[in-house]
Chains A and B, each alone.
Chain A
Amino acid sequence: MAEFRTCPDTGFKIDLNADKLIKWNAVTAVVFLLVGGLFGLLVALTRWPAVHLLDADLFYLALTAHGLDVLLVWMIFFEIALLYFTSAILLNSRLALPKVGWLAYWMMLVGAAITNVAVLRGDSSVMFTSYPPMMAAQDFYMGILIFAVGALLGCLVFFATLYVAKKEKTYEGSVPLVTFGAITAAIIAVFTILSGAIILLPTWFWSLGLLSHIDTLMYRVIWWGMGHSSQQINVAAQISCWYAVAAILFNAKPLSEKVSRTAFLLYILFLQLASAHHLLVDPALSSEWKIFNTSYALYLAVLGSMIHGLTVPGAVEAAQRKKGYNKGLFEWLTKCPWSNPVFAGTALSVVLFGFLGGISGVMMGTEQLNLITHNTIYVPGHFHGTVVVGSTLAFMAISYWIVPTLWQKELVFPGLAKWQPYLFGIGMGLAATFMMGAGTLGVPRRHWDMTFADAAMGYDFPAAANLMMGLNGVAAVMGSLGALIFILNMVGTILWGKAKVPAPAAPAEEAPAAVASAATSHGSAGTMEVPGTFVLALIFLVSFVLYYFVNWKYLSSVWGLS
């Protein structure tokens, strides 16, 4: 029989099994963010030409650990916590199969540990992509497989909880929009894990000597079904967080709930197909396959992103205008709580994800334009614009709400928390921008030494490329400081935070039940009069068109047809 407690802050009825599993998954996620983030800093300091910190062997070891721990382990642990939160807690239900939830947790932890040990041992520096014919130690693949099965079990618990909640009628009508976004993330996660299993299982057998050969092209096609889709789980989860924060802080409703749900449906149908952009210069794959997957289908997923990017700020504007912030185009925006890290992190996540990650993704996904930047450091620039300043920042922002709420503790460093989203968001946003700039000038990704000092045929990049790689290092230090403050705040709050004192009397709209009902209620804002948001959207669209045009112009100059 499930036991529950009622959260004094929010009014949520919380299943104690879900409570524990959310906490354990979230804390483990933050630990891996620390480990992976430190390796990331080492990578950035090595790619800073004037510093060039690590030797080649250690650089590739650090790059492998960085990719694995932040792209996969931190994200998936946090997302499993979000899946349990958006199912059991938002649906007012017990968590189904808690023992399976614990099995999932331990499998993920053991799998991540095994792979990390394999990497740190130094015989598996194959980077996150682990392309054959490079072969890692067998436990590298085994660890990822164990982790993936654990994550699949976590998804099973989520779907089983949806079933239980529906059967036991713990909610009425459709699931809340935030839960629907989590369903989208979980569906993409299942596809991701299946793709990973399809290719990593034979690769593990190959490393054990049971198979003689892995076809490199076949590996790349199927592996990217996992490698890129795993980042699409983040996108769906991060957008769920945006809607949740808008509801929690502003009692905001989307401009049109039906349209927002349809935008998530576009993700379910098309977002995973963007994996093909990694294969746009691979032989054997036809232009039809490449263009369908990265253009026609991907553009429908991009349409989904642009709908979310319009409706989240639009929802906040509508809610703020309802409160009387009607002066001019932007009073609603200036009156937002910019010193609240929950809001500041989310707002920066929306803006930076759109401008840096979104626009660059569409550019790279165009077969012809891809030639300018393929396999350059532009690609990590793009995904730092999505995974870091989009997803990680959104997860950090909602953590400032989740941790004090679930643990019922005050933040240990509230003053630092006000600055943290800006430090991290701007630092990593600049790092992404500089990487994309250097990549446009041809600087390769993953390469230890951009001077090619010991190469038989040398090549000098323009001075601007060296400058940008140096600035990338400076920006990465700034972002790492921001990440460290976040981790200190979270771990410190959990370990040493003061217990929260219940507020004596809150106004009706801030009463505990109001938060729970805002995050779980249905309906739309009931207005489309959000002129400030439309102006911001037009600025975004003009930037998008200009950047797209500039890249075609650039392509014409590097690829003469005479």
Chain B
Amino acid sequence: MSDTGSNEKIPFMQQLLDSPFLLLAIGILSPMVLYILWGVMEVIATPIAQ
């Protein structure tokens, strides 16, 4: 991963993988939206038994 010459443009994927804080944001946002938020919305949308 460090074999990129100093004048060469760093590829997007490497920039992404070299940004731990960006990965942290993505790693929290992805399951928060797809698992928790979506799941909670489905539970809330369930009608209460009469």
- Residues in A lying within 8 Å of B, measured CB to CB: 159, 162, 172-175, 180, 183-184, 186-188, 190-191, 194-195, 198, 215, 217-218, 221-222, 225, 229, 257-258, 261-262, 265, 268-270, 272-273, 275-276, 279, 283-286, 289, 292-293, 297, 522-523
Interface of A is mostly: helix
Whether B39 pairs with A269 at a CB distance below 8 angstroms is no
Chain A residue numbers with a CB within 8 Å of B34 are 273, 292-293, 297
CB distance from B29 to the nearest CB of A (A): 9
Whether B18 pairs with A159 at a CB distance below 8 angstroms is no
Give which listed residue, A262, A270, A289, contacts B30 with CB less than 8 A: A270
Give which listed residue, A162, A174, A268, A286, contacts B2 with CB less than 8 A: A174
Whether B46 pairs with A187 at a CB distance below 8 angstroms is no
Q: How far is the CA of A523 from the CA of B1 in the complex (A)?
A: 7
Q: How many residues of B contact A (CB 8 A)?
A: 28
CB distance from A281 to the nearest CB of B (A): 14
Chain A residue numbers with a CB within 8 Å of B3 are 173, 522-523
CB nearest to B18 among chain A residues: A174
Chain A residue numbers with a CB within 8 Å of B16 are 265
Chain B residue numbers with a CB within 8 Å of A215 are 43
Whether A268 pairs with B26 at a CB distance below 8 angstroms is yes
Whether B35 pairs with A258 at a CB distance below 8 angstroms is no
Whether A269 pairs with B17 at a CB distance below 8 angstroms is no
Chain A residue numbers with a CB within 8 Å of B17 are 174, 180, 261-262, 265
| Contact residues, B4-29 vs A (CB, 8 A) | 4, 13-14, 16-18, 20-21, 23-24, 26-28
Q: How far is the CA of A268 from the CA of B20 in the complex (A)?
A: 11
Whether B27 pairs with A191 at a CB distance below 8 angstroms is yes
Q: How far is the CA of A190 from the CA of B2 in the complex (A)?
A: 28
Chain B residue numbers with a CB within 8 Å of A186 are 24
Known contacts A187-B27, A188-B27; is A225 also within 8 Å of B20 by CB? no
Chain A residue numbers with a CB within 8 Å of B20 are 159, 162, 175, 183, 187
Whether B43 pairs with A221 at a CB distance below 8 angstroms is yes
CB nearest to B2 among chain A residues: A173
CB nearest to B17 among chain A residues: A261
CB nearest to A293 among chain B residues: B35
Interface of B is mostly: helix
Q: Which 10 pairs from chain A and chain B are nearest by CB?
A: A173-B2, A187-B27, A174-B1, A272-B31, A284-B46, A268-B27, A221-B39, A522-B2, A191-B28, A183-B20
Whether A172 pairs with B31 at a CB distance below 8 angstroms is no
CB distance from A404 to the nearest CB of B (A): 30
Whether B28 pairs with A289 at a CB distance below 8 angstroms is no
Inter-chain residue pair count (beta carbon < 8 A): 104
CB nearest to B36 among chain A residues: A225
Whether B24 pairs with A221 at a CB distance below 8 angstroms is no
CB nearest to A286 among chain B residues: B42
Chain A residue numbers with a CB within 8 Å of B1 are 173-174, 257-258, 261, 522
Whether B46 pairs with A268 at a CB distance below 8 angstroms is no
Q: How far is the CA of A188 from the CA of B13 in the complex (A)?
A: 20
Whether A284 pairs with B42 at a CB distance below 8 angstroms is yes
Chain A residue numbers with a CB within 8 Å of B28 are 187, 190-191, 194
Q: How far is the CA of A390 from the CA of B5 in the complex (A)?
A: 38
CB nearest to B46 among chain A residues: A284
Chain B residue numbers with a CB within 8 Å of A198 are 36
Give which listed residue, A162, A225, A286, contacts B31 with CB less than 8 A: A225
Chain A residue numbers with a CB within 8 Å of B30 are 268-270, 272-273
Whether A191 pairs with B18 at a CB distance below 8 angstroms is no
CB nearest to A297 among chain B residues: B34
Whether A289 pairs with B40 at a CB distance below 8 angstroms is no
Q: How far is the CA of A159 from the CA of B21 in the complex (A)?
A: 8
Chain B residue numbers with a CB within 8 Å of A270 are 30
Chain B residue numbers with a CB within 8 Å of A222 are 36, 39-40
Please, could you name 8 A-B residue pairs with CB atoms under 8 Å apart, sorted by A?
A: A159-B20, A180-B17, A225-B31, A261-B17, A265-B17, A272-B30, A275-B35, A522-B1
Whether A268 pairs with B23 at a CB distance below 8 angstroms is yes
Chain B residue numbers with a CB within 8 Å of A217 are 43, 46
B28, B35, B42 interface centre (most CB from chain A within 10 Å): B35
Whether B14 pairs with A225 at a CB distance below 8 angstroms is no
List 14 additional contacts besides A217-B46, A289-B39; criterion CB under 8 Å: A173-B3, A173-B4, A187-B20, A187-B24, A190-B28, A195-B36, A229-B31, A257-B1, A265-B16, A268-B27, A272-B31, A272-B35, A273-B34, A285-B43
Chain B residue numbers with a CB within 8 Å of A175 are 18, 20
Q: How far is the CA of A180 from the CA of B4 in the complex (A)?
A: 18
